[in-house]
Amino acid sequence: MTDWIAQDWNDQTCRARAWFETLRDRICAEFEAIEREAGSSAVFEYTPWQRAAVEGRGEGEAGAETGGGTRGLMKGKVFEKVGVNVSTVVGALSKDFAGTINGASAEQNAFSATGISLVAHMANPHVPAVHMNTRFLTTTKAWFGGGADLNPPIPYAQDTDEFHAELKAACDAHGAGYYNRYKAWADDYFYIPHRKVHRGVGGIFYDHLECADAAGWEANFAFTRAVGEAFLAVFPRLVRRRMGMDFTAGDKAVQLEWRGRYAEFNLVYDRGTLFGLKTGGNIDAILMSLPPEATWS
């Protein structure tokens, strides 16, 4: 572990956590405002949770574990199901899992993690579903990761273009090659190999954006904040554009079949799902990404 991580990781984690919580509050307020515009009184319900020890650790490892988070969930007229989670945990990775995490090993398996995770499944199939997640982790290294991707059952080029344009602007302000690199990473990551289809129309995905020193941390934190701001700027606009559109039973059937593909990806391939399950996360919070209804033919 570098000296600056050893000295400052707690302060940096607290700063990142504060930002994730502020972003959550702003997103939830905007989503509740959309519900009110649609004549709904739906609001987020918040459920705090504390991290439980994970079985299979070496003697004494579980005792250092701490942290937890808050699961925010709303079911309304526009947002059929939307979850916004913030969690901050500290502890030791199980020895068989540690080797899969950047900067960790069976011998050096201590970690901390804080982040925000959001998934929205919409009532109207013309409104795109969406995922957004940003996070900060420390092991023997410190890094940021995250991104956002749009998942419309019925794609509209206008929505896709606007979503990507907002993310590109955020990327361009922080790195000349960020957008092309992270868009390509999202296209590769959000792919369902056994179906040979992408999960949606993409976005950006980045991981292991390492902080070699305090200056690097500040730069990567600024970029991560920009991703959150870009999401908040563009997604509510797309929702308002489509939420009043009429839809047919056929449109709904398309949505439900598409949701089945979404569930398959999250249960089989998603890194965040695996990390949460392997580190003693809250099961309801981890699986809140699953749609309320889905079909398989």
Residues 89-100 pLDDT 10s: 888 887 888 888
**What is the SS3 assignment for 174?**
coil
CA–CA separation, 52 and 185 (whole Å): 33
Helix (H) or strand (E) holding 82: strand 79-92
pTM: 0.90
- Cβ atoms < 10 Å from Cβ of 216: 16
Is domain 3-289 in CATH 3.40.1500.10, yes or no? yes
Task: Report CA-CA distances (Å) from 257 to 42, 130, 251, 294.
Answer: 26, 16, 10, 6
Between these two residues, 281 and 102, which has the higher pLDDT value?
102
Confidence of residue 74 (pLDDT cuts 50, 70, 90): very high
How many C-alpha atoms does 6 have within 13 Å on its Cβ side? 4
Task: Give residue 8's pLDDT.
Answer: 52
**What is the SS3 assignment for 24?**
helix
Confidence of residue 191 (pLDDT cuts 50, 70, 90): very high
Alpha helices in 190-279 (DSSP H): 214-242, 249-268, 271-278
Nearest Cα residue to 134 out of 68, 218, 44, 225: 225
Tens-digit pLDDT profile for residues 38-57: 999 999 999 998 876 544 44
**Residues tagged active-site:** 131
Mean pLDDT of 128-145: 95
Task: Give residue 285's pLDDT.
Answer: 80
Percent of the chain at pLDDT exceeding 90: 73
What's the mean pLDDT when you consider all of the chain?
90
Task: Give residue 93's pLDDT.
Answer: 82
Between these two residues, 288 and 293, which has the higher pLDDT value?
293
Exposure class string for 160-199: b at 16+ Cβ within 10 A, else e:
bebbbebbbebbeebeeebbeebbebbbebbeeeeeeebb
Residue-range domain boundaries for the chain:
3-289
Residue 218 has pLDDT above 70, yes or no: yes
